[in-house]
Structure 1
Amino acid sequence: MNEAETRAEHIDPMLVAAGWGIVPGSRIRREYLITLGRLEGNGKRGNALSADYVLEYRNTKLAVIEAKAWDKPLTSGVAQAKDYASKLTIRYTYSSNGQGIYAIDMETGKEKTVLSFPTPDELWQATFVLQNQWWDRFTAVPFEDKGGYWQGRYYQDIAIERVLRALAEGQDRILLTLATGTGKTFIAFQLAWKLFHSRWNLNGWKQEEEPTRRPRILFLADRNILANQAFNDFSAFPEDALVRISPDEIKKKGRAPKNGNIFFTIFQTFMTGTNAEGKPSPVFGDYPPDFFDLIIIDECHRGGANDESNWRDILNYFKPAVQLGLTATPKRKDNVDTYAYFGSPVYTYSLKEGINDGFLTPFRVRQHATTLDEYIYTSDDQVVEGEVERGRVYTEKDFNHVIEITPRERKRIEIFMQEIDQSQKTIVFCATQEHALAIRDLINQIKKSSNPNYCHRVTADDAALGKVRTSS
């Protein structure tokens, strides 16, 4: 009897006998895809990773089962079962050849043969020993899948679960660290979805009474393009629940908008504003400090949690709110403030993991050094504008911030344009908006293409023009 027959004739009936797929809220997910397989080039991938069975109850993954053919040893699937459970961060995992069941507790390390699979309620009780009313409420709300179109990746599900557990336990500063391109906005959406439909809010958070008010959630970014993208990605919410806080809207209405549940803005908008006398008065002050129940800070390493950042004033003002930081940057010297403010991440998904799992494209670094990576002014150098500090050694951190040397930038762009396929879409990150302007001009001067719209700058100063250019 092969594996498929063993599953159909023996393992499936054992699961049904335990109530899986029968008990309301329980689900058997077969051939559950975990990873896509590492991209290897030329359209080829490494082996994908999929579990034979994943058992779900109350919208939560509770167990993994690795099936083997009838004539295989009972424990021949143990290594795979453990690997899948580790990947999915699931406590209980099983190996079965249809003749028996071998159970592993990944938390205690205990292993044993059992006579039957646990029921959904038994497995739930074993997994969540300490009951929590908010955790029960969160898990009662299914993920929004847009009719099956949206399916979360395994690490996204884990990240969402970790944040919800932290909330259920009363944690008010939470950090997620996930590599760029792994879908942090999707995670933010699903978190907001569950909180919105479970009616989680600060007033009822640590109290026993039935919650009645839906939460007010602020998505705070440092760039309009990120805030706009998030606003569009949250379109499954009722239209009147979504609010985009922008200077134009504030100016038109004469006040900051307060009717809604999910608000989107950027730090810069919140830091600007004037009072009736025309004096500076930050917009965020229009809201009571306890107005927002949850603040999601996108790319929080870029300033919001920095001790010396003006943006930190916003987070301090809304101190009563639960604050969730999203970052792609692991802890290092230049972002220790972020980790000091939020604490250790409740979940981390690294760039290496994303590449190995096949969700991110492998890359190669081509590093070039020029003969002008340090600069000291000499008397025969021509200063076009400004003043130069004699005797100072200008290094990489100073270029295009403190000092601009156009011939240096031109040479670097010449090297860059020789290295790339000029017919492919390319993004260039620059030091400042002024630097981006200079680089745009140099690329357009050096390019082979006759297209007058070959290279465009897309920054805050370009406003809607940049958006039009990038969408064409």
Structure 2
Amino acid sequence: MTEEDIKLKYITPAIQKAEWDIVSDVFCEYSFTDGRIIVRGNLTTRGRQKRADYLLFYKKNYPIAIIEAKDNKHEVGAGMQQALDYASILDVPFAFSSNGDGFIEHNRLTGIERELTLDEFPTREELWNNYVENAHITPAQEEIINEPYFFQLGDKTPRYYQRIAINRTVEAIANGQNKILIVMATGTGKTYTAFQIIYRLWKAGKKKKVLFLADRNVLVDQTMTNDFKPFDKVMTKIKGHKLDSSYEIYLALYHQLAGDDGEEPFRQFKPDFFDLIIVDEAHRGSAKEDSRWRKVLKYFDTEDTTQIGLTATPKETKEASNISYFGEPVYTYSLNQGIDDGFLAPYKVVRVGLDKDLEGYRPEIGKLDMYGEEIEDREYSQKDFDKNMIIDARTEAVAKRISQFLKKSDRFAKTIIFCVDIDHAERMRRALGNENSDLVAQNDKYIMRITGDNKEGKAQLDNFIDRESNYPTIVTTSKLLTTGVDVKTCKLIVLDSNINSMTEFKQIIGRGTRLDIEHGKEYFTIMDFRNASRLFADPEFDGDPISIIEIPNDGDMEIPPGEEGEEAGGDDEETTGGLTGTDDDDDRDPPKGRKRYRINDVDVQIVNERVQYYDVGGKLITESLTDYTRKNIRKEYANLDAFLRKWNEEDRKEVIIEALKERGVLLDAVREQEHLQELDEFDLILHFAYDQPPLTKAERVKNVKKRGYIYQYKDIAHDVLEMILEKYKDEGITEIEGTKVLELNEFQKFGSPLKIVKAFGNKKKYLEAIKKLKEEIYLA
């Protein structure tokens, strides 16, 4: 019997006999990832989803067991390793393996395995009681744990990693932990996760007064409008210095509570007023021990108050640490996990080398800059450019390369360019405008500068975020857009700033990781002019958060209150204290004792360029597409004989092609790049991996007809096989496998698929005929 037979006839009945509700408690073929998006060239495809044969839920928010099934050619425990792998990912306490003869149960809390008959599969209550006993859960804790998620018809439900983060947090609070850190990559739904945590605790009556702290107006407004909308009637945004104590859910900016004019508005609340405080972007100013924002947390740090930090980039430095304050993360979901699961967009990196960046620039003796200043005689390197030394031709070269890229791909792809400071962002805006004057003439908002000091630019931030709005398309910035701005359609991130902070680098990359397949965003490109992408190779990039040690950098300072200038003036003028709004590490002035020179008579050229792709596990690969294809096929099949043996043994050739796809081998991308549309997958593999002379699909069809195989069949059967051969010639081998091909329009003239199959005798004989046809196609 097949695995499906075993599940239908033995495993499912055994579960039902143990009184599990097959409709509400048991999910079959449960997919919990979307499948990694693989990018090669300009082509993308999805890898396989991770899928459990059975996932059993005690309650909708608590999966309790996984069952992996095998056919009865395998022994009963053959599926245990896969079951344990999935159980670990999904944070499920019990794993089962079965071949239909019985079950092996693995208790992940105790490490003990036992063998069960089909009649001994545990009931829902038996498993839960076993879990409660081994996890040492008290009745009071169980009451909190059992509070369901918020859900209404049409709403999204938590993804598996969000559910784990929510459950672990609720369990930690139930266990009396009052400081909690959650690490989740940008774009994985930290705010939605926070909402569900608040909702469950609030509905359970354990946390009645909640404060959600952020450091930017745009974050607070997005949160209120989107994820926190169900709290509408009990929620308020703190404005000004007068605080209303009649609400239950409060959202606030750090500096509004901390005060910028000597006042400390947060003291209007008693220290024990809030039961729960959630800190968004906890890697920012609140991570610093001497931060004026940290004093807000310390004021409300009472025995009965729970504080939760949310971050994508936990900090652990001499100057700042959210880990020392909140403790080790209760859960971490990394950028690489998000990309490998298919929930985040992968990236390709275009590293551009400019001659002056690589060789340096030294002025001749007595050279004057544009303003008549004599330039100090020394070697100027990449770290000096746009900081101490401005070379206009360099700015123009960068703007030209960005524009060329967009003109070849999509001129309305949302683009963020990270510059050294405000002055650099303004000059880059002008240079880009000159390169794209045709679109600027149509709409002067095509390119804009969005920095902390620019009200006009910041006023367009919502339009830049809006997926339906074309304008602005390209924005230049410095620090303002490094964090918290949700631009789902961002397809290009340009690095033209000297980035040494791992935290800042992660946040910048996070601007592009959100998927938006509906609007054509399946991956994004990072164009790097400053070698910042070297940080991808650092183990700290996606490593254990406790190990992250920042490289000292002026830009990694506590963001001054002026950065929040999004809404300075109007209602927020009082609360922001008349802030000037700058978002730069060194603003407009060069370091003390050194002038900023500007020259416009030095040439700058691009001397090299390298494209790298995201590969399994977060590695960047640089090899050519054909070299990468050859290497990875040979990893799967060491030599030609091994490949041919597998190809001939496998009835469904699609299985082989899908397995290679999981290794990142996209044969369609190779076919497109090398203009070899006339070759099928078999011949592409022979040609590129094993240096064999290929045959075209047309040549293979001609050889089949020459050998006379299809002439063994008469009438409809013969005509069907001839048409299937033509289908293979046009579209390849995977299109003719199985009986689905018979449902296509061109086969309707022969009658229904059932009638066609009967022309061969029966379905079995039809499939045998197709199997033999495929063998004929691939005869040497």
* TM-score scaled by length of structure 1: 0.83
Q: Paired residue for 2:29? A: 31
Q: Secondary structure of the equivalent of 2:339? A: helix
Identity of aligned residues (%): 35
Name the SS of the counterpart of 1:29 in structure 2.
strand
Farther-moved stretch of structure 1 (61-70 vs 129-138): 129-138
2:282 corresponds to which letter in structure 1?
C
Which of the numbers 284, 292, 302 marks the counterpart of 2:284?
302
What residue is the counterpart of 2:225 in the other structure?
232
Q: CA deviation at 1:140?
A: 2.4
Show CA shifts across 1:264-294 (max 9, x none).
22223223366xxxxx313323322222222
Q: Which amino acid aligns with 1:258?
A: S
Distance 1:332 1:305 in 2: 9
* CA gap 1:64/1:323 in 2 versus in 1, 3 angstroms: same
Counterpart of 1:262, as a letter, is I
Compared CA separation, residues 465 and 356, structure 1 to 2 (3 A):
closer
Of 396, 405, 414 in structure 1, the residue corresponding to residue 390 of structure 2 is 405
Alignment partner of 1:51 is 2:39: no
Which aligned runs of 4 or more in structure 1 are off by greater than 6 angstroms? Answer: 373-379, 387-400
Partner of 2:325: 341
Q: How does 1:37-436 map to 2 (within 5 A)?
A: 37-41=35-39, 42-58=43-59, 59-115=61-117, 116-129=120-133, 130-201=136-207, 215-246=208-239, 250=240, 255-272=242-259, 280-320=262-302, 321-331=305-315, 333=317, 337-370=321-354, 371-372=356-357, 380=367, 382=369, 403=388, 405=390, 407=392, 408-420=394-406, 421=409, 422-430=411-419, 436=425
Q: Verify the 8 A CA contact 2:57 2:65 in the aligned structure 1.
A: yes
Name the CA shift for 1:112/1:156 in 2 (closer, same or farther; >3 Å): same
Q: 1:380 to 1:289 in 2, by over 3 A?
A: farther
State the 1:336 CA deviation.
Answer: 5.2
Give the AA of the match of 1:233: N
Q: Which amino acid aligns with 2:416?
A: I
Q: Which amino acid aligns with 2:255?
A: Q
Instruction: Answer whether contact 1:104 1:112 (CA < 8 A) is retained.
Output: yes
- CA shift, 1:181, in A, is 1.1
Q: Is the 8 A contact 2:380 2:389 kept in 1?
A: no
Instruction: Indicate how the Cα distance of structure 1 residues 266 and 388 shifts in structure 2: closer, same or farther if over 3 A, else same.
Output: farther
Does 434-443 or 126-135 show the bigger shift? Answer: 434-443
Q: Give ranges in structure 1 of 5+ residues lacking alignment.
A: 202-214, 275-279
Deviation string for 1:138-174 (max 9, x for gaps)? 3322222331531211111111111112111111221
Question: CA 1:37–1:136 in 2, change beyond 3 Å: closer, same or farther?
Answer: same
Q: Is the 8 A contact 2:75 2:99 kept in 1?
A: yes
SS in 2 for 1:145: coil
Larger displacement relative to structure 2 (295-304 or 66-75): 66-75
Letter in 2 for 1:86: S
**C-alpha contact 1:299 1:328 (8 A) present in aligned 2:** yes
Offset of residue 108 of structure 1: 3.5
Contact 1:456 1:466 (8 Å CA) reproduced: no
Return 338-347 or 442-451, whichever deviates more.
442-451
Give the 3 Å change call, closer, same or farther, for CA 258–380 of structure 1 in structure 2.
farther
Task: Tell me by how many angstroms 1:335 deviates.
Answer: 7.6
In 1, distance between residues paired with 2:128 and 2:379? 63
Q: Deviations over 1:279-332 (max 9, x none)?
A: x31332332222222221111112211124322222222222322111111555
How many Å separate the matches in 1 of 2:284 and 2:121?
A: 48
- Evaluate the alpha carbon distance shift between residue 241 and residue 397 of structure 1 in structure 2; reply closer, same or farther with a 3 A threshold: farther
Q: Structure 2: how far apart are the matches of 1:84 and 1:383?
A: 64
Once the 2 structures are TM-superposed, how far is the Cα of residue 435 of structure 1 from its aligned partner? 5.1
Residues in 2 aligned to 1:296 and 1:392: alpha-carbon distance in whole angstroms: 50
Counterpart contact for 1:68–1:76, Cα < 8 Å: yes
Structure 2 residue matching 1:56: 3-state secondary structure: strand
Contact 2:195 2:228 survives alignment (8 Å): no
* Residue number in structure 1 paired with 2:520: none
Cα shift at 1:397: 7.1
SS of the residue 1:143 aligns to? coil
> What residue is the counterpart of 1:16 in the other structure?
16
Q: Is the 8 A contact 2:27 2:54 kept in 1?
A: yes
Q: In the TM superposition, what whole-angstrom CA distance separates every residue of 1:207-253 from its partner, at most 9, and x where no partner exists?
A: xxxxxxxx22222112221111111223452422111223xxx3xxx
Matched-pair contact (CA < 8 Å) for 2:368–2:374: no
Taking a change above 3 Å as real, the CA distance of residues 292 and 381 of structure 1, as seen in their structure-2 partners, is farther
C-alpha distance in 2 between matches for 1:445 and 1:83:
55
Aligned to 2:104, the other structure's residue is in SS state strand
Q: CA deviation at 1:80?
A: 1.7
Q: Which amino acid aligns with 1:224?
A: N
For the 8 Å contact 1:180–1:351, the answer to whether it is kept is yes
Deviations 1:318-357 (A, max 9, x none): 2223221111115554885122222211111111111111
Q: Distance in 1 between matches of 2:289 and 2:259?
A: 20
Measure how far apart 1:367 and its partner are.
2.8
Q: In 1, are the aligned partners of 2:220 and 2:252 still within 8 Å (CA)?
A: yes
Equivalence for 1:466: 461
Write the letter of the residue equivalent to 2:148.
Answer: P
* Alpha-carbon RMSD: 3.2
Which residue number corresponds to residue 204 of structure 1? none
- Native 8 Å contact 2:187 2:344 kept in 1: yes
Displacement of 1:259 after TM fit? 2.3
Deviates more, 1:458-467 or 1:58-67: 458-467
Report SS of the residue matched to 1:180: coil
Whether the aligned pair in 2 keeps the contact of 1:376 and 1:390 (CA below 8 Å) is no
The total of aligned residue pairs comes to 444
Contact 1:72-1:97 at 8 Å conserved across structures:
yes
Determine helix, strand or coil for the equivalent of 2:12.
helix
Cα distance 1:39–1:107, how it changes in 2: closer, same or farther (>3 A)? same
Aligned-partner SS, 1:348? strand
Contact 1:458-1:467 at 8 Å conserved across structures: no
- TM superposition shift of 1:98: 2.4
Query: Is residue 440 of structure 1 aligned with residue 429 of structure 2?
Result: yes
